[in-house]
A and B are shown apart, each in its own frame.
Chain A
Amino acid sequence: MSQPLLALQEVCKVYGQGAAQTPVLNHIDLQIAQGEFVAIMGHSGSGKSTTLNILGCLDTPTSGTYLFDGMHVEQMSTQQRALLRRFYIGFVFQGFNLLNRTSALENVELPLIYRGLSREQRQQLAMDALKAVGLEDYAHHTPGELSGGQQQRVAIARAIVTQPKVLMADEPTGNLDTQRSHEIMQILQSLNQEQGITIVMVTHEEEMAAYAHRRILFKDGQIESPELPPEAV
């Protein structure tokens, strides 16, 4: 097996200080290979969201190491992590987190602004990304004019417009009905299969987790059932 894309070693995360210390993650070891589609599952408070934040370089471990494509994220500055997110990571959130009163196209363009692309390039790439999620006809609609499922598709378009290595999805179907949820999962699946984007998804729905290659179950800050990567089976 080649070097994993994401690797957590002995990662602990503790919130608070002194007597109020609350351990959230307890010695996590986790490896995710390039091109994998992983579902992280667990009850609320099990540490799954914290793990996703650490994997997404939004948060840092209290101790332990995190290697992103061989780079030590735990040693990076805030700015370095921001640049890592900018160039390698896309995010999809439960609450969509689109900019209000801003068209779908402008929302998708947003990450490209920080890459310093010209307006034409941005619009071209953003339009392509909207096409990939089937929303090219809604480019000039604002989030308020779109359904929940459509909003989440815009959010996915925003996450993939930079062609990231990894897509971090935090309960992407949490606010959607079953049918929309399956549509979203199909989009994620095809992104994984056709563009080879590694996907790490937090969910608590078995049905949605079924789209992933493997499931990692968290309980009380520890990995309870580390399913092996498919290749290792």
Chain B
Amino acid sequence: MIWNAFVLALREIRRNLMRSFLTVLGIVIGVASVITMVTLGSGATAQVTQDVASLGSNLINVSPGQRMGMGVRTNAPSFKRSDVLALKNELRGVKAAAPVSRSAITANFGNAHWSTSLSGTTADYFEVREWRTQQGRLFTEAEERAGRALCVIGETVREQLFGKESPIGNQIRFHKMACTVIGLLQSKGQSSFGSDQDDIILMPLKTFQRRISGDQDINLIQVAILQGLDTSEYKRKIVKLMRDRRHLSDNEDNDFSVMDMKEIANMLSNITKVLTMLLGAVAAVSLLVGGIGIMNIMLVSVTERTREIGIRLAIGALEKEVLTQFLVESVVLSTFGGIFGILLAFVASSILAMLMSVPLVFNIWVIIAAFLFSAFIGVLFGYFPARKAARLDPIVALRHE
């Protein structure tokens, strides 16, 4: 009987191909958007996690001020070079600690100019962030202490300023100073924060302080601890050390913050997870609307086919057979919608993932769930019209015009 109903349903759908298509369009879009949203969301989450992991799980950021949510900081004294030395020398297990001071500048070479981020740091930074050169060399500790006008540039800066020319030995100009390029960094690509990690110029901290910022402030210290050590333990040690150095009494809050990459990763992936859920929920609403669309069309269809139902009932169709017929019809419709939706989602998420350059992470459970949900919507929203059809009085139905 079910097979019969299935064949009848297919026949009916074929008979009204255009209407059937419009009916399932809502479901197609609903299923496609749910799957696409979740797929892109998972991709973004994976990207964030992977990127942060690539920054090094042994990395701890120490910054002045207390973090009040994303990016908001209270005013607090910045660090000095002595803080960096203390972190490096007083804590056993710290592999390297590098100060970072940043400034936005526009660099010029010949006629080319490029707005980028200039960081003043020490030679330790290359170890902390695992930077290697593809051409030339990195600056040394001695060069840093001497405050030489040298710099190391990222791949993007090279591309923008030098084009085909080799950058090594050339002088670039920014902020009323000239600076010799001694090294070109290996490309790291885009980070999960959407920023280009290769869009960077690194110079000795001393040079930076003297020629660019004009003060001794350090806005960020990045600490790398030895592989295999417990980061949370080191976080506590760093907090204690910094509190001592800043002479904070027991009832004072920290005026600096210490975060490890795991925390940052968790924070970011939590944000993307929440966003994914939110987008998925919005998309799920459209799936629901698609279901209501199916109910609408099925109700119209029942009214349109009242005489047909009357004929079926008159020649001996049972109520449950008519109910089954209409129910199967709406389930078949919505299931088709689900299948097309999944196909559309594959195409859409492949394209979007490429454009957004996030990895394509298909979650099989989301696909299965969206498919089952679309079939369920067929039952849910098909039941009411089907019951209406089955309960018709054959005499009245046959007289229907």
Interface residues of A (CB under 8 A from B): 53, 56, 58-59, 78-79, 82-87, 89-91, 93, 97-99, 101-102, 110-111, 113-114, 116, 158
Contacts and interface: CB of A to CB of B under 8 A. Distances in A.
Contacts of B1: 116
Nearest to B325: A113
Given A58-B395, A82-B313, A101 B319 contact: no
Interface stretch (B70-78, B199-207, B304-312, B363-371): B304-312
B316 interface: yes
Nearest to A98: B311
A111 B316 contact: yes
19 contacts: A53-B395, A56-B314, A58-B314, A78-B319, A79-B319, A83-B318, A84-B316, A85-B314, A86-B317, A87-B316, A93-B398, A97-B307, A98-B311, A99-B308, A110-B311, A111-B315, A113-B8, A114-B316, A114-B318
B389 to A, nearest CB: 14
**Residue from B315, B317, B321 having most chain A Cβ neighbours under 10 A:** B315
A158 B315 CA distance: 9
Contacts of A113: 4, 8
Contact of A85 (B4, B315, B319): B315
Contacts of A89: 316
Contacts of B395: 53, 58-59
A68 to B, nearest CB: 14
B321 A114 contact: yes
Interface of B: 1, 4, 8, 15, 307-308, 310-319, 321, 394-395, 398
B317 to A, nearest CB: 5
Contacts of B311: 97-99, 110
Contact of B316 (A59, A82, A93, A98): A82
A69 to B, nearest CB: 16
Contacts of B318: 79, 82-83, 114
Given A58-B395, A97-B398, A99-B308, A91 B314 contact: yes
A114 B319 contact: no
B19 to A, nearest CB: 12
Nearest to A110: B315
Given A97-B310, A97-B311, A99-B311, A86 B316 contact: yes
A110 B312 contact: yes
A204 B156 CA distance: 95
A58 B313 CA distance: 9
Nearest to A81: B316
Contact of A91 (B15, B307, B315): B315
A201 to B, nearest CB: 16
